[in-house]
Structure 1
Amino acid sequence: MSPFDYEVDVAVVGGGACGLVTALRAARSPGLTVAVFEKSTREGCNAQISSGSLAAGGTRFQRAAGIDDSPARHARDILAVSGDTEAAPLVHAVCEAAPRYVEWLADELGHPLELGLDMARSGQSVPRLHTDVGRGGGALLVRTLRRAVETAANIAFLDATPGTGLLSEDGRVTGVLVRENGRTRRVGARAVVLAADGFAANTEMLAEHCPDACGAFYGGVGTSTGDAISWGVALGAGTRNMSAYLGHGMIVPGHGTRLNPVLPFLGALLVGSDGRRFADERAQGYSRLGRIIAARPDGRAVLIWDDRMHDTAMNSELMRQSQEAGAFRRHPDLAALATALALPAEALAETLRMFRAVSSDGDHGPLSFPLYAARVTHGILATQGGLTVDTTGHVLHASGRRIPNLYAGGGSAAGISGPSTEGYMSGNGLLAALGLGWIIGNHLAVTLPHSART
């Protein structure tokens, strides 16, 4: 009698970007059966609430724009910011995968991609963020992937069916436990892929590993409870970078929306509640900026920009959401700006007089009224630590050996931004998620048909 309620070749826990890409690439082998177990499409995944920007070096979109880039250059940029030399093999692996899956999304899945030439980010030596043409954000990316899954004959997508644990025998993973229609099911699998979100919504794990993020605004999904990481650890898996998280320094308090991270690179000004500038706006990634604002006495700042920057900044779903929420306003003069934001007028006037708006296009001189402004604070969007994996996505035991039949990506795997929140570069989250999904799925499509079921 079988110890399982049913069996599949590949069991994927998590139906976000990583899990969907894994399933689609594995299912290219028509003889394989793939099941994706999703906790809740209603609550969503972190990929859905992201900007949907895909960082990739060496794409046809860049070549068409005359931009010289490559996966190797992309990897060097990431490692220069993160300082995590131990992760170099994995960083190079996902950067090699990135131009391939970007072009696959556009050419085979019909995702409307373009190169975001107006999306400058700290640490990126050339423009390499690819975005959907209408700037609809991560929700559109996930819809593209889920439509493709729906048309695949050998993929079953099971919503409201969370994973609850791993099945193993003699140190070898044999399947996964899921909660399906109110009952626990034992699902046998030749390969189990953990592709759930991280643990930012788990207050106990966050307090243990990222205590400085406790109490900050949380902008992620409620399903990020870190369960899959705990299952791997229970089998002896190693973990990396558990104290790292994706922070954000441009969250608008009282609204929970985010401003477009391009604003500092267009020449926006950041001041404290004293009306004084306190940081080099263009030198910070938005995760590092969150740490800087968190260190302010009141944990708050004000971002100020003018009409020259506004139209470009509005080309973002994040910015449009902020506008709809009333998260920023346009002010006709200094008195109105200082009064609305409770800033000391004399100090603010001096700051504005001394400040020159410098963007990637050059020096644009002082900001000109009318000016837009919004209060900003710091927050956490997602954790970056997780299970240690190799360059094929295999989960590694703390001793360094592979745990047979177990893979991880997305928020379940250690990210590529190093041990500190300051090591995050824009696009790293989806790069790791889609990159590992691509790598794992391709690996399984090739290896499973030639391996015996055990």
Structure 2
Amino acid sequence: MSQHVDVAIIGAGAAGVMTALKASANADLTIAVFEKDLREGANAAISSGSLAAGGTRFQREAGIEDSPEQHAADILEHSRDEAHADLVHAVCRVAPTMVEWLADELAYPIEIGLNLPRAGMAAIRLHSDVGRQGGVRLMRHLRDALGERDNVALVDGAPVVDLIGVDHVTGVVIEQNGVREEIRADTVVLAGDGFANNRELFARFCSELGEPVYAGVSTSTGDAVPWLEERRAVFANMGSCLRHGLVVADHGTRVSPSLQFYGAVWINTDGERFADEESIGYSPLAGVLFDQPGKRALMVWDDEAMAITQESELMRESIAAGAFGRARDVTELAERSRIDAKKLETALVAAPGRRQLSAPYHWAWLTHGVLTTQGGCEIDTLGRVLRDDGTPIPGLRAAGGTAVGISGPNSDGYMSGNGLLAAFGMGWIIGDDLAAAGVRRA
């Protein structure tokens, strides 16, 4: 590989691969994507692979009214982060075009997830692969597409260990087999995961979350944080995480966030319902569980709810792990959960307007976990990294886990799909801009 490329991308996750795909539309550009370890994957690969977009043809064909503006409004209502409204609107605007491009240009088998309702969404807008194989299928498909681009090199086993240049970034330093090499580039794109698997950084920025179960990938070590600090980049929302309150205790797998929309209930160890199951997303649920006795809760659902959700990737993984129990009636559920039977009977009564569960019951003990961080460096709507004086650092862009997300200053602001929306959306925007600008980089 040449010692100079037009675009050097750090990370082959959602943001990195999308940036490369879109930038490669300009055949005159040479692009290199440097990845630590494809075997370890990326957080996108262990996600559900659900793509949030408002105003797609898939929604219209299903009779669903939605728009990018409504999508952005829903996100901002939850994040309460008007400071980053421009980023939210930017990624929501490109989301429907991006989803349709995946289907039409990359032949990805996508559909609107009619059985994927989520808290806080004014309309069903999660799009998933047919068969619900999740993020691993999506990332494999995108990387295969990238492999067909003659002007892109995906270099595995080549972690970036530093950036070249302080006031103006002009390349990266990679390490392969213990040997370091400088790669010059007109534009460097930071597209790595966050820092949730870096104990020092997590304790520094997210100490109030305690020590939750970590359910992300091992490579989320926040390598770019010190590079950015050296270059006077501004950081925002560093205490915000994608938390998960639907982690099965003692197993580490997760259950479907759709279950509560089909009657599933949450019961604490005292036998009490403690939240409106349909009104709270799985990230803020983690904070609610943190305050419950034992930091856990019993989730109960029935055969009908199981039949609707069991083909999702999350449920298949939990089923394979033996993470669920099954009780023929309330008496057995009380024996298995060690919660008083009379309290369980009361707790299982459906709220007004909600579906009543019926025996036999499925159940699992839930605890709180963290999948990835949502804070990062400040960027503008073209992904340019901003310094503390508000000016962009020449030659440097960021997206994905390295950049500030769209979920606000704390974990309660996360809405389902926000992570992939921010990563793919900003990757799309950066890649388009690089392709249009050609070899003239900023």
1:356 aligns with 2:353: no
Q: Which residue of 230, 233, 236 corresponds with 1:237?
A: 233
Checking the alignment, whether the CA contact within 8 Å between 1:12 and 1:35 is kept in structure 2 is yes
In the alignment, the residues of structure 1 paired with residue 214 and residue 423 of structure 2 have an alpha-carbon distance, to the nearest angstrom, of 20
The answer to whether residue 58 in structure 2 is matched with residue 68 in structure 1 is no
**Counterpart position of 1:399:** 389
Aligned to 2:362: 372
Separation in structure 2 between the aligned mates of residue 363 and residue 219 of structure 1, nearest angstrom: 31
Which residue number corresponds to residue 90 of structure 2?
93
Q: What's the counterpart of residue 292 of structure 2?
A: 296
CA distance in 2, matches of 1:235, 1:5: 26
Farther-moved stretch of structure 1 (106-115 vs 306-315) = 306-315
* Identical-pair percentage: 51
Q: Is the Cα contact below 8 Å between 1:5 and 1:185 reproduced in 2?
A: no
CA distance in 2, matches of 1:5, 1:101: 31
Q: How many residue pairs were aligned? A: 442
| Larger mean Cα displacement after TM superposition, 334-343 or 203-212 | 334-343
1:79 maps onto 2:76 in alignment: yes
Give the TM-score normalised by structure 1: 0.95
Over residues 255-279 of structure 1, what are the superposed CA-to-partner deviations in whole Å (9 max), with x where a residue is unaligned?
1100000111111111011111111
1:389 corresponds to: 379
**Paired residue for 1:410, among 373, 376, 400?**
400
Partner of 1:437: 427
Helix, strand or coil for the counterpart of 2:380? Answer: coil
Give the Cα separation in 2 of the matches to 1:87 and 1:14: 24
Q: After the TM superposition, which residues 27-66 of structure 1 pair with which residues of structure 2 at under 5 Å, given as runs?
A: 27-66=24-63
Q: 1:53 and 1:367 mapped to 2: Cα distance? A: 27
Shift of 1:452: 7.6
CA separation in 2, counterparts of 1:97 and 1:314? 31
Q: How far off is 1:230 after superposition?
A: 2.3
Question: Is it true that 1:281 corresponds to 2:271 in the alignment?
Answer: no
| Residues 64-213 of structure 1: pairs in structure 2 closer than 5 A | 64-168=61-165, 171-213=167-209
Aligned residue type for 2:392: R
Greater shift, 99-108 or 4-13, is seen at 4-13
Measured after TM superposition, the shift of residue 351 of structure 1 is: 2.1
Q: 1:94 to 1:85 in 2, by over 3 A?
A: same
| CA–CA distance in structure 2, aligned partners of residues 120 and 375 of structure 1 | 22
Aligned position for 2:338: 342
Offset at 1:210? Answer: 0.5
Q: Secondary structure at the match of 2:169?
A: strand
CA distance in 2, matches of 1:324, 1:370: 20
Q: Which residue of the partner structure matches residue 218 of structure 1?
A: 214
CA displacement 1:20-48 (0-9 Å, x = unmatched): 00001001000100000001111110000
SS of the equivalent of 2:39 reads coil
Tell me the secondary structure at the aligned position of residue 23 of structure 1: helix
Whole-Å separation in 2 of the counterparts to 1:47 and 1:452: 28
Which sections of structure 2, spanning at least 5 residues, go unmatched? none
SS in 2 for 1:257: coil
**C-alpha contact (below 8 Å) 2:43/2:217 kept by paired residues:** yes
Matched, 1:271 2:299: no
Counterpart AA for 1:416: I
Residue type at the aligned position of 1:306: D
SS for the counterpart of 2:250 is coil
SS, match of residue 148 in structure 1: helix
Given that 1:84 and 1:417 are in contact with CA atoms closer than 8 Å, whether structure 2 keeps it comes out as yes
- Give the distance between the partners of 1:357 and 1:252, measured in 2 at CA: 24
CA distance in 1, matches of 2:312, 2:351: 21
Match of 1:15 in 2: 12
Q: 1:452 to 1:39 in 2, by over 3 A?
A: closer
For the residue of structure 1 that corresponds to 2:197, the secondary structure is coil
Residue identity opposite 1:24 in structure 2:
L
Closer/same/farther in 2, CA of residues 410 and 285 from structure 1, 3 Å limit: same
Kept in 2, the 8 Å contact 1:266–1:357? The answer is: no
Amino acid of the structure 2 residue aligned with 1:363: R
Aligned to 2:165, what secondary structure does the other structure show? strand
Secondary structure, aligned partner of 1:42: helix
2:187–2:441 Cα contact (<8 Å) kept: no
C-alpha contact (below 8 Å) 1:206/1:213 kept by paired residues? no
Aligned-partner SS, 1:376:
strand
Residue 321 of structure 2: aligned partner: 325
* Alpha-carbon shift at residue 363 of structure 1 (Å): 3.4
Cα distance in 2 for residues equivalent to 1:99 and 1:231: 34
1:232-254 Cα distance to aligned partner (Å, 9 max, x none): 12101111100000000010011
Task: Say which is worse superposed, 24-33 or 176-185, in terms of deviation.
Answer: 176-185
Q: Counterpart of 1:25? A: 22
319-328 vs 177-186, greater mean Cα deviation: 177-186
Q: What secondary structure is seen at the aligned counterpart in 2 of 1:57?
A: coil
Which amino acid in the other structure matches residue 54 of structure 2? G
